[in-house]
Amino acid sequence: MGLMLLIFNTGCTDFLSEKDPSNLTPDSFYTIPDHAEAALASVYADMRFFGGDGGIFSSTWQLLEAPTGTSTTETAQNSDLNNLYGLIYDGRTQHVINWWNGLYKVIAQANMVLDKVPAITPMDENQKKKILGEARFLRAWAYFYAVRLWGNIPLITLPQTATSEDFMPAPAPQEQVYELILEDLLVAENAGLTWMDPSGRASLAAVKSQLAKVYLTMAGHPLNKGNQYYQLAANKAQEVIDYANGNPSSIGLFPTYNDLHDETNGNRLEHLFMIQYNVIVAGNPMNNMFPNFKPVTFQGPSGTGSTVPTIEFYNSYEPGDKRAVNQEGFFYTSYYTNGSGEPFDLGAPYIFKHFNKAALGTFGVPGNRANNLNVPLIRYADVLLMYAEAQNELGGPNALAHESLKKIRDRAGLPTPGLGEFTINTFREAVWRERWHELCYEQITWFDMLRLRKVYNELTNGFDDFVGHTNLSSNQALREMHLLMPYPLPEMQNNPNLLPQNPGYP
């Protein structure tokens, strides 16, 4: 196993790692507490598969954006990416393969930590408990993505070798996967983690927020566990909200949307959990959102435009919504030549949500070329909306659910009807709309579509059934098969027990 060592740069809070050239084996390696810390660092490092190579002009994360219909592409060179947009992907699609390999690598590394660290002696018990809790959180994080993407999946909880009895495991039922996810998260919740961790390691806020998301998902499709799990989701989200209300300098919403993509704000306030990036190891991987060959950065006329907003989604924001204001919200329609020169019109809206002005440039200030911006995974805004949705399903909105929705809309500069003006149905769709408009391009929307079996219709401002909804990005309709991703063909070839393929795929 490759040993991963931590790097801490002065003034940098990212939890980072790089490979060590040693030939240590697991049996000879896990002997002192520093080994446990380094092994855990390798699990965090493996999360960066998220930004891996998806072929020419493409990244692994685009698997969760292209099928949503909220984005389109300005480049045609990548057939796999085009197939994602066209809803004709299959088990050969590189992004599907990358997600499977990436998630199971995180799981394998976490399993190694969980198997080997308990035997390290001497070791401070609190340190050991915390490391094991973080490893549990990361394993749950990976399995939660995997079970939502593929449904029934192999459930592996111990380190594997070619001689392992279950080296070629068959898929386990989704219910069983969710049982492990909840078990892991509940252990992590009691592992002595701090509420927020500026280094980027898992925090109590991240664990509780992830629990809320898992419960909310289990309440909906495909498990349909209903009110008991809506209540669990509401309770867990409220724990984070109550802490935030009592500790506003620790957790809360950033005052402005530009704060969301200011790298100095990583792992603080609204950012409850992020994938850590630093150019020493790996720079921010969202460059495929840059316009195609337009000079918005120090690199001049570059960029691929392989994930750009559809004009219909951009136009679906309410009049006056700050999130649609040029360079103030989540989009930009003009920028500065080579990042810092004269203003020019982009001719269309592009995604500004992951644009790092310090690295790429802003008016009169050239970029420093070091794009250390982290990728957000859990924001406090998401927690507020999860609470509002879950609580509403229990019989209608209460005051806290209304206040949670209102906080999102207040920041956007939008009015919110009074609590008494909502019904359970109108409040439900109001929260869903905010999820689409607030959490867009953060690899969340696709999972909302799956658990709700609903898709936002940009033209009607309402919601269609998932099956039959036409993505305006491709004019192709979502089908029943799209509720699951296909198992990767290479994995099926290597593991004959990974059968049958998910319905509808070759």
- Report the alpha-carbon distance of residue 51 to residue 231 in Å, rounded: 35
Q: What pLDDT score does 89 carry?
A: 98
The CB density around residue 120, as the number of other CB atoms within 10 Å, is: 18
What phi and psi, each to the nearest 5 degrees, are found at residue 296? Answer: -90, -5
Least reliable range by pLDDT among 148-152, 157-161, 364-368: 157-161
CB-hemisphere CA count at 13 Å for 36? 25
Local structure of 479: helix, strand or coil = coil
pLDDT band at residue 144 using 50, 70 and 90 as cut-offs: very high
Taking only the tens place, the pLDDT of each residue in 35-65 is 999 999 999 999 999 999 999 999 999 999 9
The CB density around residue 327, as the number of other CB atoms within 10 Å, is: 17
The DSSP element (H or E) to which 498 belongs, if any, is: none
Amino acid at 436: W
Q: Is 475 exposed, middle or buried (0-12, 13-18, 19+ CB in 10 A)?
A: exposed
**Residue 222, preceding peptide bond in cis (omega within 30° of 0):** yes
Nearest to 443 by CA among 187, 228, 144, 215: 144
Q: What pLDDT score does 76 carry?
A: 86
Taking only the tens place, the pLDDT of each residue in 101-115 is 999 999 999 999 999
pLDDT band at residue 7 using 50, 70 and 90 as cut-offs: very low
pLDDT band at residue 24 using 50, 70 and 90 as cut-offs: low
Which residues does 159 contact at the CB level (< 8 Å), separation at least 6? 26, 108, 111, 112, 115, 116
Q: What pLDDT score does 25 carry?
A: 66
Q: What percent of the chain has pLDDT over 70?
A: 95
3-state secondary structure 46-107: HHHHHHCECCCCCEHHHHHCHHHCCEECCCCCCHHHHHHHCCCCCCCCHHHHHHHHHHHHHH
The DSSP letter of residue 7 is E
- Report the alpha-carbon distance of residue 475 to residue 478 in Å, rounded: 10
Structural domains in the chain plus CATH codes = 1-192+475-498 (1.25.40.390), 287-373 (no CATH)
Burial 305-319, CB ≥16 within 10 A → b, else e: bbbbbbeebbebbee
Specify the pTM: 0.94
